[in-house]
Amino acid sequence: MTAAVRGASRTGTSRAGRTGSVTWMALPALVFFIAFGVVPLLGVLGLSFTQWDGIGAIHPAGFDSWRKVLVDPGLPHALYVTFLVMILSWLVQTPASILIGVFLASHARYRGVLAVLFFIPLLLSSAAIAVAYKALLDPNFGLGAGLQIGFLSQDWLGEDKLALGVVIFIVSWQFIPFHSLIYQGAVRQIPRSMYEAAEIDGAGRIRQFWSITLPQLKYTIVTSSTLMVVGSLTFFDVIFVLTAGGPGDATRVLALDMYKTGFQANLMGPASAIAVILVLVAFALAIILRRIGGGGAADSQLEGA
Amino acid sequence: MATAVTTDVGQTPQVRPTRSRRRRRRGRPNWLGGLAGWLWLVIVLVPIYWIVITSFKTQANYYAMNPLKPSTSPTIDNYRMVIESDFATYFINSVVVTVGSIIPAVLISFMAAFAIVRSSGGFMKSVNGLFLMGLAIPVQATIIPVYLIIIRLKLYDSLLAIILPSIAFAIPLSVLVLANFIRDVPKELFESMRVDGASEWVTLWRLAFPLTRPALVTVSIYNGLAVWNGFLLPLILTQSPSRRTLPLALWTFQGQYGVNVPAVLASVVLTTLPILILYAVGRRQLLSGLTAGFSK
């Protein structure tokens, strides 16, 4: 009865008076987001058909920039490096984050103290992390050189494969805390009764992990992976400070390729074309991961209940 | 998914029907998780430990001794040197940019979230959809048009140039998280406000604001961290040293004093210190806010 009344009054007001009276509250945010989010997104597409050096006048240039970018062997290379970083950092981060998240969600001793320390990398700026690691890895003045351990005093940032490995390590160092935090929260939401039932049935820890924890984390894995994968497109700060894309082009990811083309070579047209490719890749990945998830945030919310 | 789990659990007794009662004891140690946890702790702490102890060494001292041993005669000269190279200016710039972006960003996001939750119109649905799409836009990809807009607004090389786009990029996630929290406010409370004759504007500030204050704080901290640590916007939208924010200053400092490792590390510690203090004060707020945004 009450529910029916409430329902009726709700639809009554929300249809008529309410919608009109709250809509304007969304306008400031909408204006800001359109001005500095949507307009730039469309603008970058527009600029990709122009010629601009970043200072002077902007001239329409048709498909010149696109032709230039698509013919340049730098593009497939940048795409390759971007996907390599994406896949490798996902492969490192996901299992580690799940393990640590499960561990942090358990009631093990010292967990509280550990948790305080775990999340410190999350607080540091990418610039600070990259600056510190650059000093730490320096073959002449770094930690390895000081300890005089040969393995540690390699030219970490001077060789293609090592530099790529270092980037993946540092990115994982920076972001695993964040993702373990997400997993920790998700593991805590799994009903205890499931584990109790499994224990009565005699399932061991590992069996419980594979049969309960992991399936229950499905949507969290999708969310976390989406953030990881889309986020990996924007590993600009770390790479810029650490290697500036080098040695050679070994760590020149798409975002860096765009920056260098636009702000160092002053070719804003081609840089905009690269940015459009970056957006397309990001959207495509977000959509693919959503499909894999088979629904998305709304469903996962119901799942927890 | 729920069905998959049920069948899995249901099958277990058929697989191993005999072992039942023995394992009911709880709290058996999780070896693999524990191992990962401790290993990770070492990986996190060794670099941080090295950064901190090295920042208190003199340059000569640094080359001479075991890098993992703390100095026997710690010095604060490195810190003095960093502070004397205009650290205060960069610090103030960072504070102005962070506070100047986050307060307006969170307030307008809160209003938008309220509007999205409280209205059932199709227009608001598409606004919400637009913000959700914004979550997938890589900031880097929009930087060239943002740069163009800032130049045309004659704001290049000002702190406002960093603030305006920072507000915009903070909006999507803030709206998402805040809308989730406003949805949790019991409908009866909104209803009684309405019966009392309160307008939506009053309801927003008198009811929703106090009830979602924890979420507002966490969203502010989360976005504040992102802006405080932001590198790309200051790099592209400013150029004069007097407009540098801390992350950018850090980068230029390494460019100048790269060989002086202790001084570089002192600058790293110094730029991180304010955040660490904040972390010590509001750890719960920060961490719970992060999970609220994503696992909910």
Domain assignments of chain B as residue spans, ordered by start = 77-294
Q: Do B272 and A255 touch (CB under 8 A)?
A: no
Q: Do B127 and A282 touch (CB under 8 A)?
A: no
Q: Which CATH superfamily is domain B77-294 in?
A: MetI-like (1.10.3720.10)
Spatial separation of the C-alpha atoms in residues A30 and A27, rounded to whole Å = 5
What is the pLDDT averaged over residues B122-132? 87
Residues B122-148 as b/e (b if ≥16 CB within 10 A, e otherwise) read: eebeebbebbeebebbbbbbbbbbbbb
Does the pLDDT at position B21 exceed 70?
A: no
Q: Please give the helix or strand (H or E) that residue A51 lies within, else none.
A: strand A50-51
For B233-292, how does the pLDDT look when each residue is reduced to its tens digit (9 = 90+)? 999 999 998 999 999 999 998 888 877 888 889 999 998 888 888 778 777 766 665 555
8 Å CB contact between B15 and A202: no
What is the pLDDT averaged over residues B216-232? 87
| Per-residue pLDDT at A172 | 92
Q: Please give the helix or strand (H or E) that residue A59 lies within, else none.
A: strand A59-60
Q: Tell me how close the Cα of A261 comes to any Cα of chain B, in angstroms.
A: 11
Distances (CA, A) of A33 to A41, B120, B133, B145: 11, 21, 11, 14
Q: Do A47 and B164 touch (CB under 8 A)?
A: no
Ranges of each domain in chain A: 34-185+221-304
Tell me how far apart the 2 most distant CA atoms of chain A are, in Å.
79
Contacts of A276 in chain B (CB under 8 A): 141
What is the pLDDT averaged over residues B113-141? 85
Q: Tell me how close the Cα of A62 comes to any Cα of chain B, in angstroms.
A: 18
Q: Do B108 and A220 touch (CB under 8 A)?
A: no
Place B188 in a pLDDT band, splitting at 50, 70 and 90: confident
| Per-residue pLDDT at A107 | 66
Spatial separation of the C-alpha atoms in residues B286 and B296, rounded to whole Å = 15
> Look-up: residue for tokens 């049935």?
A201
| Per-residue pLDDT at A234 | 75
What is the pLDDT averaged over residues B187-208? 85
Is 1.10.3720.10 the CATH classification of the domain at A34-185+221-304?
Answer: yes
Spatial separation of the C-alpha atoms in residues A267 and A72, rounded to whole Å = 13
| Burial class for B24, CB neighbours closer than 10 Å (0-12, 13-18, 19+) | exposed
Does the pLDDT at position B101 exceed 80?
A: yes
Q: Do B67 and A143 touch (CB under 8 A)?
A: yes
What is the pLDDT averaged over residues B186-190? 86
ipTM for the whole predicted complex goes beyond 0.90: no
Distances (CA, A) of B71 to A28, A177, B80, B151: 54, 30, 17, 49
Q: Do A211 and B12 touch (CB under 8 A)?
A: yes
Q: Tell me how close the Cα of B158 comes to any Cα of chain A, in angstroms.
A: 16
Nearest CA in chain A to B37: A100
Nearest CA in chain B to A295: B1
8 Å CB contact between A233 and A281: yes
Place B294 in a pLDDT band, splitting at 50, 70 and 90: low
Length of chain A counted residue by residue: 305
| Per-residue pLDDT at B2 | 33
Nearest CA in chain B to A194: B9
Q: Which two tokens stand for residue B107?
A: 């307030």
Q: pLDDT 10s digit of each residue in chain A, 305 long?
A: 344 444 444 444 444 444 447 888 889 999 999 999 899 999 999 999 998 988 888 888 888 889 988 998 889 999 999 999 999 999 999 999 998 888 888 766 667 777 778 888 888 888 999 999 988 888 777 777 777 676 666 777 878 888 899 999 999 999 998 888 888 888 888 888 888 888 888 888 788 888 888 888 888 888 888 888 888 887 888 999 988 887 888 889 999 999 999 999 999 999 999 999 999 998 888 888 878 766 544 444 333 33
Q: Which among A111-125, A216-230, B95-109, B190-204 has the top mean pLDDT?
A: B95-109
Peptide bond into A121 cis (omega under 30): no
| Average pLDDT of chain B, as a whole number | 81
8 Å CB contact between A275 and A100: no
Q: Which among A172-176, B12-16, B102-106, B183-187 has the top mean pLDDT?
A: B102-106
| Per-residue pLDDT at B95 | 94
B-contacting residues in A 97-136 (Cβ below 8 Å): 99-100, 102-104, 106-108, 111, 114-121, 123-128, 131-136
Of A19, A103, A212, the CB nearest to B34: A103
| Burial class for B230, CB neighbours closer than 10 Å (0-12, 13-18, 19+) | buried
Q: Do B261 and A138 touch (CB under 8 A)?
A: yes
B-contacting residues in A 220-249 (Cβ below 8 Å): 220, 223-224, 227, 230, 233-234, 236-237, 240-241
8 Å CB contact between A233 and A254: yes
| Per-residue pLDDT at A227 | 82
8 Å CB contact between A187 and A213: yes
B-contacting residues in A 65-84 (Cβ below 8 Å): none
Q: Do A141 and B259 touch (CB under 8 A)?
A: yes
Q: Do B136 and A234 touch (CB under 8 A)?
A: no
Does the pLDDT at position B8 exceed 50?
A: no
Does the pLDDT at position B147 exceed 90?
A: yes
Residues B164-195 as b/e (b if ≥16 CB within 10 A, e otherwise) read: bbbbbbbbbbbbbbbbbbbeebeeeebeebbe
| Type of residue at B271 | T
Q: Tell me how close the Cα of B152 comes to any Cα of chain A, in angstroms.
A: 11
Q: Do B112 and A102 touch (CB under 8 A)?
A: no
Does the pLDDT at position B32 exceed 80?
A: no
Q: Tell me how close the Cα of A191 comes to any Cα of chain B, in angstroms.
A: 12
| Per-residue pLDDT at B74 | 81
What is the pLDDT averaged over residues B179-207? 86
For the packed helices A218-232 and A268-293, what is the interaxial angle rounded to 10 degrees? 170
Q: Which two tokens stand for residue A63?
A: 């498909």
| Per-residue pLDDT at B289 | 58
Give just the sign of the alpha carbon dihedral A8, A10, A13, A19.
negative
Query: How many Cβ pairs within 8 Å bridge chains A and B?
Result: 357
Spatial separation of the C-alpha atoms in residues B241 and B219, rounded to whole Å = 30
Contacts of A4 in chain B (CB under 8 A): none
pLDDT > 90 fraction of chain B, expressed in percent and rounded: 29
